[in-house]
C-alpha cells in the first residue's frame, strides 16, 4: 500500500486532487472490510458520519487557504490515550472513563488536519509485549495470524499494517511502540522522552512513558514528529526541544550488542536478518559499533523486576482494591507485586540504574 501514505494523502488533499471526505470514505471502507478478519483491532470506532463530518471540515479549511501538514490523513490512537467524548478503557472495561479533553498529541494531529477513525486494542494497561492480554480479543500478526502481533500497542500496529490508516499513535515504556512495528513490517518511532507531550496518556510508568507513532515509511514519521515535537507547559515531563538534532545524511554511530551477547534462541533466520540489517546500516552512512550491552540488560530487568513496577501499581491501586478480578491475571500478578515495594527499594533502584 505504498500510495496509502500520510505524505501522499496530505499532498493530494492540499492540492485538491482529491478531498479529505473521499479519503475518509475509503478508510472507513477498508476498516469495515478488515473487521471481517480481525474486528478486535479496535476497541471503539468513531461513527461513520462523524468521521466524514471531520473530513469535510478539513476540506473547508483547505479551501480557505490553511496549510495543513496532515490534511485528510486518517489515523488511529491506542486506547490509553484520551479522546474527548470517547471512553478510555486501557483494555479494561471496569476501569473505563469518558474523557472530557483529548490528549495533547491527539489534538495536535487533528489541528494539523488528520481525521480520527477510532481507538485501538492493546495489552491491558500497556503491560505486555504480545498483544494477547486483553479481554477484547488477542490480535495476530497481519502476515500470519498464527503468530502474535506484538504489544502492547497491538491494534495501532495492525490497523496501519493492514492498510486501514497510514499512521497511528501508540505508547512505549518497554518496547510497546517498536515490538509490534517489527512484527508487522512497520516503522515504529519512539521519540526521546519529553519530546512529545504525554498529557492525556494513561500512565504505565509515568517517568518512562513515551507516545509513539506507527507508519509504513520514515517520511510519514518525520511529518508526524514535526507536528508533535513541542514543549507542553502543562506536562511536567515535557522538555524544550534542542536547537539542532542530527541532520539527514550525517554519519551516525549505531550501537549493536557484542556478538557473544546476541540471543536468537535457535532461530537462524533471525540471526541472518540481523546480520543483513547491520550490513545495510553500514552502507547507509552509519558506523556500526559493537558495545557491551550487559548494563542495558541489567537496566531492563529493573522495569518488571525492580521498583518501577510500583509505578504501574500506583495507577491501578484503587481498581486492585475494588475489583482485582477485573484485571487480566498476568497483569494483576505484575502490578500486585508493587504493593510489596518500599521507598528504600525505589532509591536502591535509582542507584542501580544510574
Q: Which positions are annotated as active-site residues? A: 78, 152, 176
Angle between helix axes 48-63 and 20-34 (nearest 10 degrees) is 160
Q: How far from each other are the two terminal CA atoms of the chain, in whole angstroms?
A: 44
Of 18, 15, 104, whose CA–CA distance to 68 is shortest? 15
24, with CB counted inside 10 A (0-12, 13-18, 19+), is buried
B/e letters for 323-347, b = 16+ CB within 10 Å, e = fewer, are eeebbbeebbebbbebeebeeeeee
- 241 contacts: CB under 8 Å, gap ≥ 6: 195, 229, 230, 231
Number of H helices, E strands in the chain: 12, 10
CA–chain centroid gap for 329, Å, is 24
Which grid cell sits at 164? Answer: 486501514
Q: Report yes or no: 29 and 80 within 8 Å, Cβ to Cβ.
A: no
Amino acid at each position: 500500500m505504498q500510495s496509502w501514505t500520510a505524505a501522499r494523502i496530505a499532498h493530494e488533499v492540499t492540492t485538491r486532487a482529491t478531498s479529505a471526505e473521499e479519503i475518509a470514505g475509503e478508510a472507513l471502507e477498508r476498516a469495515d472490510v478488515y473487521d471481517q478478519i480481525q474486528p478486535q483491532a479496535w476497541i471503539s470506532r468513531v461513527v461513520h458520519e462523524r468521521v466524514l463530518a471531520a473530513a469535510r471540515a478539513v476540506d473547508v479549511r483547505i479551501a480557505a487557504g490553511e496549510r495543513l501538514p496532515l490534511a485528510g490523513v486518517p489515523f488511529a490512537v491506542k486506547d490509553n490515550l484520551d479522546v474527548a467524548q470517547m471512553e478510555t478503557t486501557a483494555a479494561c472495561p471496569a476501569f473505563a472513563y469518558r474523557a472530557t479533553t483529548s490528549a495533547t498529541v491527539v489534538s495536535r494531529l487533528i489541528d494539523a488536519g488528520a481525521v480520527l477513525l477510532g481507538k485501538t486494542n492493546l495489552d491491558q494497561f500497556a503491560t505486555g509485549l504480545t498483544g494477547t492480554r486483553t479481554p477484547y480479543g488477542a490480535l495476530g500478526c497481519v502476515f500470519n495470524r498464527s503468530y502474535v502481533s506484538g504489544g502492547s500497542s497491538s491494534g495501532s500496529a495492525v490497523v496501519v499494517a493492514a492498510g486501514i490508516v497510514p499512521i497511528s499513535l501508540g505508547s512505549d515504556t518497554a518496547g510497546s511502540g517498536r515490538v509490534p512495528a517489527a512484527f508487522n513490517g512497520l516503522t515504529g518511532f519512539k521519540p526521546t522522552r519529553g519530546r512529545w507531550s504525554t498529557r492525556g496518556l494513561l500512565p504505565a510508568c509515568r517517568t518512562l512513558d513515551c507516545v509513539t507513532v506507527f507508519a509504513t515509511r520514515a517520511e510519514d514519521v518525520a511529518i508526524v514528529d514535526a507536528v508533535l515535537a513541542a514543549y507542553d507547559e502543562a506536562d511536567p515531563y515535557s522538555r524544550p526541544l534542542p536547537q539542532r538534532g542530527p541532520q539527514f545524511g550525517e554519519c551516525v554511530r549505531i550501537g549493536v550488542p557484542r556478538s557473544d551477547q546476541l540471543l536468537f534462541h535457535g532461530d537462524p533466520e533471525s540471526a541472518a536478518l540481523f546480520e543483513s540489517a547491520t550490513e545495510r546500516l553500514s552502507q547507509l552512512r552509519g558506523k556500526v559499533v559493537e558495545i557491551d550491552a550487559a548494563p542495558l540488560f541489567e537496566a531492563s530487568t529493573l522495569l518488571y523486576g525492580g521498583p518501577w513496577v510500583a509505578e504501574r501499581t500506583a495507577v491501578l491501586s484503587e481498581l486492585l482494591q475494588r475489583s482485582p478480578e477485573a484485571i487480566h491475571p498476568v497483569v494483576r500478578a505484575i502490578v500486585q507485586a508493587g504493593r510489596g515495594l518500599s521507598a528504600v527499594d525505589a532509591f536502591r533502584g535509582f542507584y542501580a540504574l544510574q
